[in-house]
Amino acid sequence: MVSAITRFRRGLSRWLVAGLAVTFAGLAIYQGWFLAHIVYWVKHNPGTTSLMETRLAALRRTHPAAKLKRRWVDYSRTSINLKRAVVAAEDAKFVDHEGFDWEGIQRAQQKNQRLGKVVAGGSTISQQLAKNLFLTGERSLLRKGQEAIITAMLEAVMDKRRILEIYLNVVEWGEGVFGADAAARHYFGVSAAAVSAGQAARLAAMLPRPRFYDRTRESPYLARYAEIIERRMPAARVP
C-alpha cells in the first residue's frame, strides 16, 4: 500500500513540474514579445521607446502639454560625419562584434575598480539600443541579463546598418530631444544631413550625459572630449 507520505511526494513533484512548465512558457511568451517587436522593426520604424515614454512622463509632471523633439531621418540622409563620430565615441568595434565588446567591458570594469566607483560601462551601441527601446534605468543583474538577451536578438535579426539607423533616431540628446535630426536642429540649427565634422564630434561627446550637457554647453571637458572624438573619426568604420 502506498503511504500518505509517498502520495504527498508524488503530488508535490507533479505540482513542481507543472509550475516549472508554466514558468518556462511564461518566459518564452515574454521573450517572444521582445522578439516580435524587433522583427517588426526590421522594416518599420519604432514609434516610441521605453526611455522616451519615461522622459515624457517626467516632463509632463511639470508641463502637461510637453512634447518630445524628434523626427525620423533615414540612414542615407544622416551625415557620414555623425555616423563616424558616434561609432568613434560609443563603440569603435561596432561593425566587428556580435553585440558585445568583451575587451571593452573588461577595461570598464578595471577602471571602475581602480577609481572605486562606476565611471565607465563598456556597453556597445547594440546594448544601448536594447536598453533604450525596452528597459528602464534600473541597475540590477536581472535587467542586465534581459538587456543581453535583447542585444543578442537585435544582432541576430537586424544588420548593423539598421541597428545604427534606429540608434541614431531614438538616442537621447538633451532635455526632451531624441534622435540625430532633432539634436542637429536643437544645437546647431541644421538638419542631420548637414552636420559638420566638428558639430558631429560635439554631439557624440554629449551622449554619455545628454541632459546635463544640454544645460552646460560651455563645459571645458565637453570641448576637450569633442576634439578627441574628431581626431578619431577618420578611422571609424561604419556600416
Q: Which of 38, 65, 21, 85 lies closest to 229 in space, CA to CA?
A: 85
pLDDT by 10-residue block (mean), the chain, 239 residues = 60 64 74 95 97 96 95 97 98 93 71 55 90 86 91 97 98 98 98 98 97 96 98 97
pLDDT of residue 50: 96
Cell numbers 571645458 correspond to 220
- pLDDT at position 1 is 47
Contact predicate 73/181, CB 8 Å: yes
What's the pLDDT at 22? 65
Stated as kind and residue range, the H or E segment containing 173 is: strand 172-174
Closest C-alpha to 128, from 212, 207, 74, 236: 207
Looking at residue 220, its amino acid is P
| pLDDT for position 122 | 72
For the chain, the farthest-separated pair of C-alpha atoms sits apart, in whole angstroms, at 86
pLDDT at position 41 is 98
Q: Which residues contact 192 (CB under 8 A, 6 or more apart)?
A: 73, 77, 78, 79, 82, 168, 179, 180, 181, 183, 184
**C-alpha cell of residue 161:** 546598418
Looking at residue 178, the DSSP 8-state letter turns out to be E
What is the secondary structure of 48-103 as a DSSP string?
Answer: --HHHHHHHHHHHHH-TT---B-----GGGS-HHHHHHHHHHH-TTTTTSSS--HH
**pLDDT for the residue 184:** 98
According to DSSP, residue 194 is labeled G
Q: Give pLDDT, residue 26.
A: 73
CB atoms within 10 A of CB 32: 10
Question: What's the Cα-to-Cα distance from 21 to each of 18, 113, 146, 205, rounded to whole Å?
Answer: 5, 41, 20, 47
Contact 238, 83 (CB under 8 A): yes
For residue 106, the model assigns a pLDDT of: 72
- Residues 150, 34 contacting (CB under 8 angstroms): yes
Here the cell at position 102 is 568583451
The total of other beta-carbon atoms located within 10 Å of residue 89's CB is 24
